[in-house]
Structure 1
């Protein structure tokens, strides 16, 4: 997947995401679906008896498996990863995950109902914007001469830690893995050689503490609880709310769902939303597949228009 530019990247593998993947894949576009295979409303459904054409009482997982199998016939790719954010500055769009960053011509957000969002850690919401951040490259300049902590998988936080060396006086890297053997060796050696950086393995963030701003994090490292004085905590743990994940893409309604038009367009060209993540009245498998169909057709149209424009001026 490295350096590949996908025509469509889809965030979520519920009925909306899989329907979008089916339509886009069948149209001979390159498609990547970012999924968490054990998470989602469809997978949690014990029985489904109101999906047209499906006899009996299959489980949600049965229908998920049938949908995914169908998409694979059209060369749709899947990656098990946690979505972290976007980089929208270039002509193409970058989708950031805890596994890798993926480049896309267009994006369909189909990550599901807000209720399925990750649970906040103690202190995370309280100190958001007061030392808790999800993007070191966004907020690094505010950490000048401060002690900071990063939590997450090695590859994601390693790159962010390297960026922070320009500003922070002390950097604590709490890696969730038990080693860094699978990471970029030259990058990790560079970080280890930097006297500002200290690495912790097999780490788990337990709590963020402070008064008005972050002052301390409590973590479990290899089974032992430690307290670490810090003024910024950068989290790469998949705990963002829909507002934090998608607030730059589309306005949200009062319940926290993305507002789109009827063609699934968000406020940014080339980015669409489908399924339960959208602000709408009814949330059913059938309405999700309808949204997925519309989003895919709009994404296909977007990609083809761009291709035709390039052909005209090349």
Structure 2
């Protein structure tokens, strides 16, 4: 767990997220932007001719680069990571990623259009809730005396595997990296010393199989296809839909987009949504930057109000 408490963590580095980062950073808030490299509608745009004040038909990547440079100028931090979920149980919110977890006072969800987060692996949707899970700490108690598998990389999967050692009889960790290094030497050593845990490197999940519940996982390992018995499959691969990712913090419309009010507020205090991830009629770069501006200004007000209240009672 990163010990720093950010004023705002922004999920997504498209035009909405970068605009929010610029406004929040310029107001001296501590800002972290979680981005996935080379992903997003803006980066895929071959030419943009309808962004006010920008001539010569730049590519989306060129506009992205300019926006990011502005945010960096005002000390926004960036990390390339896959967002996995939230922990909202404490005073500060926790944003979970495959790299590490981050504490924050507020969150802006700006992860873009649903097409970027709705791809499923074969069997994933079919067995969701029937052995497929995205949270070992949520569902670990159901795995007593079972063989289970985890897929992903980074410290998050290692911590989840360690939690499962309390329940599962056999734990296969399928890691996409080539090294047994989860960013924590002590955690890595603990897992390697546990007889229940087997770590598979250079692995890729191809399919989840079974009848009524999960029974097997098909995995590619260093060019070979292997099948393992597994009664649970815990996935940390960024394959959740928008509704699965954000359903705990905001209601969604029939297409899975987050419903907010005009000030970008979700149903949870201190959590906002901006850009194409929102339920709305028009999705353009200009409307995304507008949303990002509003969300950031609401965050600034929220943080200042909380600080003033704390000062009054201290």
User: Is contact 1:249-1:267 (8 Å) kept?
Assistant: yes
Match of 1:246 in 2: 246
Moved more, 194-203 or 126-135: 194-203
Match of 2:104 in 1: 104
What's the CA shift for 1:118? 4.8
Q: Which runs of 4+ in 1 moved over 2 A?
A: none
User: Is contact 1:216-1:229 (8 Å) kept?
Assistant: yes
Aligned-partner Cα distance in 1 for 2:181–2:288 = 41
2:281 is the counterpart of 1:291: no
Residue by residue, what CA displacement relative to the aligned partner does 1:169-196 show, whole Å, maximum 9, x if unpaired? 1111111111214532221221122111
User: Is contact 1:15-1:288 (8 Å) kept?
Assistant: yes
SS at match of 1:115: helix
What's the CA shift for 1:208? 0.2
User: Is contact 1:154-1:176 (8 Å) kept?
Assistant: no
Number of equivalenced pairs? 314
Aligned-partner Cα distance in 2 for 1:182–1:291 = 36
Aligned-partner Cα distance in 1 for 2:249–2:6 = 19
Residue by residue, what CA displacement relative to the aligned partner does 1:252-293 show, whole Å, maximum 9, x if unpaired? 101110000110000000000000000001000111011001
2:4 is the counterpart of 1:9: no
SS at match of 2:84: strand
Aligned-partner Cα distance in 2 for 1:247–1:80 = 23
SS at match of 1:62: helix
Moved more, 99-108 or 187-196: 187-196
Aligned-partner Cα distance in 2 for 1:110–1:183 = 27
Match of 2:140 in 1: 140
What's the CA shift for 1:128? 0.5
TM-score in terms of structure 2 length: 0.98
What's the CA shift for 1:2? 3.0
TM-score in terms of structure 1 length: 0.98
Aligned-partner Cα distance in 1 for 2:275–2:182 = 36
What's the CA shift for 1:229? 0.3
Match of 1:43 in 2: 43
How well do the aligned residues superpose, as a CA RMSD in angstroms? Answer: 1.1
Aligned-partner Cα distance in 1 for 2:2–2:249 = 25
Aligned-partner Cα distance in 1 for 2:247–2:60 = 30
Segments of structure 1 that go 5 or more residues without pairing to the other structure are none
User: Is contact 1:154-1:180 (8 Å) kept?
Assistant: no
What's the CA shift for 1:24? 0.3
Segments of structure 2 that go 5 or more residues without pairing to the other structure are none
2:21 is the counterpart of 1:24: no
